[in-house]
Chains A and B, each alone.
Chain A
Amino acid sequence: MTLAPEKKTKKPRKLSMKARYEALTRGLDWEPSYVTKEEMFPHLEYEGIKIHDWAAWEDPFRLTIDAYTKYQAEKDRRLYAVLDGFAQGQGHLNLTDAGYLNAMKLFLQGVTPLEYAAHRNFAYLARHFAGPGPRFAALCQSIDEIRHMQTEVHTLSNYNKYYSGLHNWPENHDRMWYLSVPKSFFDDALSCGPFEFLIAIGFSFEYLLTNLLFVPFMSGASFNGDLPTMTFGFSAQSDESRHMTLGLEAIKFLLEQDEDNVPIVQAWLDKWFWRAYRVTALVSQMLDYMLPRKVMSWKESFELYFEEQMLKGLFEDLAFYGITPPRHVADAVQEKDVLSHQVYWILYQFSFAAGFTTTMPTPEHQQWLSQAYPDTFDTHFKPLWDKEARNIASGGRHFTRGLPQLCQVCQIPMAFTEPGDPTTLCQRESEFEGEIYHTCSNGCQWIFEREPEKYRQAWLPVHQIYQGNCGGPSVPEVLEWYHLQDGDAGEYLGSRDHTNWLTWQGEAAAETASHENKAGA
């Protein structure tokens, strides 16, 4: 028996890695002829962006599907092993304090839904961009984002079984007043065309501000014994670095395609810097007030991650394209000494209507704040807490029963002060078609006046409550409509989580003591 001789084959000329990647990904596109290109990609003109050569998009990663799935599957295998082990060993008892979880409640209610929204809208980019390179990058990010949403939910799922405030996060996000801050921010991006979304989320959110928004939660977790969240944070890191690279590639691509794109992109940067920065207001108070064991102050974080890395690093590079630092950035810099204190003071007074609890900072905590904010804390904010200490001593922990006025753009209660003057409230007014609209800052006012027809559509929780659209016009009716359960809201000390925590820690201590006694006997 003989084997059939092989047919003569050409000596394979192996493709280079780059050529092979391009053959697998780029060559797939074609010019349509049975429909027009405008019919196939109808959203590419109206924002004014001009793209001459989609092929100029550089793929920074050259990931093929087999490599992607293999790598991601391995990461998830390790992450879920940690989550399972943590749940089995009652790892939540090793947190610094149950109060730490307020940070995670805010994260699940406020940030996780944004991951989901990013998932949906990167799929929109993956449908509507006319170039296969950015389309595939967007599709990868779309399914990365569903990963982040789900791994966050699965990470916090175990805490939800034992602690309050985590149980109803999707509805919270749609309904609760402070969550309209992140929700309206992302809805703003979702209602944009593909290029503005790319700058808003792909660049401003994922690149410019990701270290201010996302990293503080993960660092807070590692400082406070939250092993699952920390592991999630590490596990998301390589995805995030891909997303950051995509964001940077995106802005350079738009700027290099046509000079006319530069002023459009600049205006978007101006807008989205301030929009995203206002969302970080919630993060600022988390860092300074919600973490039992501190990582760094908001001020330090802002100086390191924004002033050093972005203003000095990134914007020096972008100057080459004629891009300048975002408008109103000086206001943000001036605010770093007061932001977290003003925001926490709001949340402290209104936490009876929130999905987390608040408490007065202890004397040690206040000492830390005073050291971290030598120019402002003792002068402007310690007096508030001294007064509150007297209230509590006489049995009257302070909650504000009225409803605050909200900024028409960022939707944070209007409690910020004038840049550089912590004693004067900052209030801006704009008129549009005979109506007056209020904004909290120069940045928000500028954003409003650029697109008043958009921002007047805002679903402002306080207006909606007064109109009776939130279960009824009274506070108890609204709280019922929020579906808050006992223990979700209010003061932390004496709350359900706090009481349980003391009991569980007591049981653990008693257990240890009894073992030691036996061992000693």
Chain B
Amino acid sequence: MTGVPLCGPLQPIAHLVARHRQAFGAQIRLAIQEGVASGPLREYLTRLVEHGMIRDVETLGVGWLPILACEACGTDGSRTLPIAAAWQLIRLAVKLLDDVEDGAQGALAALSTTINAAAALYSVAHVTLDTARRTGLKSSQIRRIADLFHHALLAAAAGQHLDLEARVTAGVLSPDEWLAIAAAKSGALLRWAVVAGTLAAGARRGVIAALGEFGLCLGILLQLADDFTDCWRSGAEGDLAAGHLTLPVCYAFWVAADDEAARLERLLQARRQGASSAAGELEQMLIDMGAQAYLLTVALAQRAQALAALDRATSELGENVQLLLKPLIDCVFPAFRGLGV
């Protein structure tokens, strides 16, 4: 995930990022050092982490969710450093598996290496969670956070399974089915990242539930942004080219008349087979059918739900919640800035 420069509305949290940045990066390196025996695997994972995750913590993004959620609850975010490190490691693992599933890894040897690295990162993330006692968390807190971690990962795997099954059977998902998959694949993980931060801060149940809902909406927004980019960003070779079912395509099939559905299917088929001439026609057809408008409307609805959840937490915790967590909405879905919302 690319972050954003700490300017404009993000400026007030610049000091927080600056305060934790170094320790955050160090904690991720420590997780690899302590979790993996010296040797080629450790070296490989270190390279992955240095190129991806360490650079990622230099800027604000969803990688900061546990720390920001903890700070929003009025507790020093350094308590969550092992949790935040586990969160970064699992994001990297999920990204690696996504690349494999999307066929971006090329040769079999590279594919096998990637799967093995992802499996190792899953384990390192779990081991790292256990070290949270060093930052003052009680065993009961760690157990609860770890338990929720397992459930979030299982939910994400279940969502990914549904997505992959739809690819295999070439079935068409309804928008509701797309939402259920997005909520499981991405929403459950981001919800955990926020909830883990609130649990580390010892927040009350109502706050945990409200901020958890915020995380869920943020995860769905991430999937919406991903689908938007894949469909319409110039030069993108993403899910649309691979023939995967993005929300714009699900929407289009849902609202299409028979003749439109047939034309859509022909264009998708051509796109899957590498016909670049079909790309522009397909993108325009989706726009003409209202897929951009629909996707933005869904995104606005998720944003409104996320803001309502933040408001509920704000009534108990104060404005800090808005200050620290609201900017993440625009980080995840930058087009909101252009809508003037």
Q: Do A and B make up one complex?
A: no
